[in-house]
Amino acid sequence: MIKRRSMKEAFICDAIRTPIGRYGGTLASIRTDDLAVIPIKALMERNASVNWEEVDDVIFGCANQAGEDNRNVARMALLLAGLSERIPGVTVNRLCGSGMEAIGQAMRMIRTEDADLIIAGGVESMSRAPFVMGKASEAFSRDVQIYDTTIGWRFINKKMEQLYGVDSMIETAENVAGMYHISREDQDIFAYHSQLKAHQAIQSGAMEREITPVEIVRPKSEPFVFSMDEHPRLSSLEKIGTLRPVSRPGGTVTAANSSGVNDGAAALLIASENALKKYKLRPMARIVGVQAAGVPPRIMGIGPVPATQKLLSKLHFSLEDFDLIELNEAFASQSLACMRLLGLKEDDPRINPQGGAISLGHPLGMSGARLITTAVHQMSNNNLHRALCTMCIGVGQGIASIIEKV
């Protein structure tokens, strides 16, 4: 008879990120692999008691992987950060949820005793996403198709298009707005409040502990230190209302009520109880669970709903059990639809108290790790006990995670 072992716990001991850069902004000059190095090195500097030779794995999320991140960016980053060449690294891709997926995989490895110490996180440089060109499909072909890999579909499978459609991300947001009757006015109000909350958080210094400054080297000029998210753009509700719809006449989705196209990286130090004791680490939070779920691709924005419901059901929680909810704001329309479908009030103070992706930005592979990083520090700063982090994912998925303060 096989004796069942008790499940081990996975603890977040530190979490740090770069400031989020605008598309073509301050971080655009930094290669994706070099960008991933920055939070890894910051973890190493802040946790001097750790023997970094004993890291079991480095797991990073990255959505693009067509440019400078094409050769397993997790492995490249750990080597460039000065970690031992004996330490393995793996890059995971659940598109927008990649950073959260990386943390989920780290949790499972520690719970099954396959690891004691893992660096997990995510990176994306959307500014440096390359154009790609396929090879000729037949001899002497002169047909050339070039795709921008920044976001969305490329090299489309015709059967996929017939079965599910290949709506752009903005079109999926319009689909959600239409299906769930989300008005333009409600989307603009939601976006305005996201910007306002982010502005207030930045002004108060609430996010300083989670951000590691980045030194930017400039030709013919002195280097400068980049230490604050640059995507937030607080404006009046009236001005937000003047923007035109992006994808269709009569639409409701605009640049102001959508998330940004951004650059950034985040890394978390995740440890077993044995590693806590060995390296005298102080746990910030326990990872309770991570789950993903699927939805129709054309309404991918409602992905957080089944992912959250699945996770809550498995762990026997209700939404009333949470002090903090970090819901990634890919679009105001999908955020509002998810909140209404989950029975959450739109002015619930637990939801994104420091703003979300509309205001802070959405570097795809980083964002899931950013949500958990932000949640961990809010729990520490404000004496909160339990947080839910959830986000939608392109091609019709959602992912959700629960963390608890230790």
Buried/exposed code over 286-301 (b: 16+ C-beta within 10 A; e: otherwise): bbbbbbbbebebbbbb
Which of 62, 96, 338, 389 is flagged as catalytic? 96
- Exposed/middle/buried for 163, CB within 10 Å: 0-12, 13-18, 19+? exposed
* Beta-sheet pairing, 11-17 with 285-294: antiparallel
- Answer yes or no: 13 catalytic: no
Number of H helices, E strands in the chain: 12, 14
- The one-character DSSP state at 299 is G
* Among 226, 216, 186, CA closest to 339: 186
- Answer yes or no: 389 catalytic: no
CA 204-206-210 angle, 5° bins = 145
Which of 13, 62, 389, 392 is flagged as catalytic? 392
* Among 276, 291, 263, CA closest to 105: 291
Output the furthest CA–CA distance in the chain (Å, rounded).
Answer: 71
Contacts by 77-84, CB closer than 8 A, 24 or more apart:
77/33, 77/36, 77/37, 77/40, 77/123, 78/40, 78/119, 80/33, 80/34, 80/37, 81/37, 81/40, 81/41, 81/44, 82/41, 82/44, 83/40, 83/44, 83/52, 83/55, 83/58, 84/52, 84/53, 84/55
**390, β-bridge pairs:** 327, 400
Which of 13, 231, 338, 362 is flagged as catalytic? 362
Cα distance from N-terminal residue to C-terminal residue, the chain: 35
- Answer yes or no: 392 catalytic: yes
* Beta-sheet pairing, 214-216 with 131-133: unpaired
* Among 19, 30, 41, CA closest to 67: 30
Element (H, E) at 214: strand 214-216
**267, β-bridge pairs:** 16, 121
Whole-number Cα distances in Å, 247 to 169, 184, 190, 272, 358: 10, 14, 20, 47, 17
Query: How far apart (Å, rounded) are the C-alpha atoms in residues 160 and 55?
Result: 40
- The catalytic site residues sit at 96, 362, 392
